[in-house]
Amino acid sequence: MSLLVKNGTIVTADAQFTADILCRDGVISEIGPDLSGPVSCEIIDASGKLVFPGFIDPHVHIYLPFMGTFSKDDYATGSKAALMGGTTTLIEMCCPSRADDPREAIRLWKSKAAGISSCDYTFHMGVTRFDDGTAAALKAIVAEEGITSFKVFLAYKGAFGIEDTELYQTLSLAKELGVVVTAHCENADLVSETQKKLVAEGKVGPEWHEPSRPVTVEAEGCHHLMTFAELTGAEVYVVHTSCVPAVEAITSARKRGVKAWIETVAPYLALDSSYAELPDFEGAKYVMSPPIRAKEHGDFLWECLANGTVDTVGTDHAPFDFATQKHMGHPESSKCVDASLKPTGTAGNFTLIPNGIPSVEERVKLLFTEGVCRGRIDLQTLVRCASTQAAKIFGFYPRKGTIAVGSDADIVIWDPKWIGKISATTHSMATDYSTFEGREVQGRAEFVTVRGKVMVRNGEWIGETGWGNFLHREPKS
């Protein structure tokens, strides 16, 4: 299978130039002017278009048992949505409960993707407890399964959250194994106590979600992780960083020599806290944790992307239907379309709204529209934060994350002049609503390839279910 992309403007994290790209057997074999391919080679004319490396979303949830329900997408819909948006590689959080065996959990998560995903994929291995058998299990997962990043939660106490002793043990093991530890940073006890207080005061609507997890709580969680990372020497990656104090806690630790990466996610860049305050329970559509913050925090995050302080932009894609699943937290039980989802005998409140919003399909459109088109970031920064840095941090660069000879032929031909609107009526995600309904966007993925196979053509899906490969990774030396 050969593919020749001609006359496009190639954009990588550090360069922009016009050239042709010849792909053979799933990899890029030549880059240069006036290339020709075999007689049977498919030729795509990319004149007037931008040619990006396939984008990488370092933080998604496709299969997720959470808050009494399950995320709505599966790998058939989730990977299609990713590709329609130009994302060719997903890194999913494997999130077992504290009672689950880690090895059984990763096998379960892998089975949900194998033979179904249309894009390439790998996982962060959730560490939700650390007992006598955990170290051996995690060592086997790294060596045998090729999973070289862990995930810890400093939130969701009693479900995914870990205690400090477990955090220390996880980071110490990660340092020994050459594994990156990704972390959700909030102070679980402060969240719990604040939520109890607000609900007791009758403050039960979705607008109270953000005040129950304020920026100070997130910053404290970041500071906490940095202390443990400094003591253990572990490399850490803070997921979905949402606010000024959290970034400052991490950058302060960097100055002390802590190796810490910062991720933010598309909703924090494109939305603000007023969305969760919408009336008639509409605000529930925007409930995620940490919460979407006031506008000044989003503006600050854009500045941090431009200057390189923030390394990556993911989505924390966690899709739940509005009419049923989000309504689990409606104060009136009758408002939940599927009453079986409502916890028996429990009055609805914001703490029961499944946390998360669907966004995997829209990430790059939003970065291009709100970032590049508005002059907040340049094209190289777009590629860096949406592809290259994730590939470098998580161990598949230069196979992924760039356009170079020998790299996988994951290519996005981007039409920068296309104008359209985001809508649940046209998206590929399985949810009944779009977080960005009606928003006008500029630019789209016109052609998308995964290892040289065209999956999106002229903005339309032509992909093959099951084409995606699991990416086996090696620990850092």
pLDDT tens string 293-348: 999 999 999 999 999 999 999 999 999 999 999 999 998 755 555 555 555 555 68
Is-contact 369 442, C-beta < 8 A? yes
pTM: 0.96
Q: Residue 245, by phi and psi: left (phi above 0), alpha (psi -120 to 50) or beta? A: alpha
Q: State the helix-helix crossing angle for 188-200 and 215-232, rounded to 10 degrees.
A: 160
Instruction: Write out pLDDT tens, residues 138-191.
Output: 999 999 999 999 999 999 887 889 999 999 999 999 999 999 999 999 999 999
Cis peptide before 211 (omega within 30 of 0): no
Dihedral (CA of 443, 444, 450, 451) sign: negative
pLDDT (average), residues 419-444: 98
According to DSSP H, which parts of 385-465 are helical?
A: 389-393
Q: φ and ψ at 147, to 5 degrees?
A: -105, 115
Q: Name which of 200, 258, 178 is nearest 226 in CA terms.
A: 258
Instruction: Judge whether 61 and 426 are in contact, CB under 8 Å.
Output: no
Look up residue 396 and give its DSSP letter: -
pLDDT, tens digit, 9 for 90 and up, residues 350-359 = 999 999 999 9
Residue whose token pair is 């370092």: 58
Bridging pattern class, strands 16-24 and 2-11: antiparallel
What is d(CA 74, CA 306) in angstroms, rounded to the nearest whole number?
Answer: 34
Mean pLDDT of 37-46: 94
d(CA 122, CA 4): 28
For the chain, domains (ranges, CATH) are 54-372 (3.20.20.140)
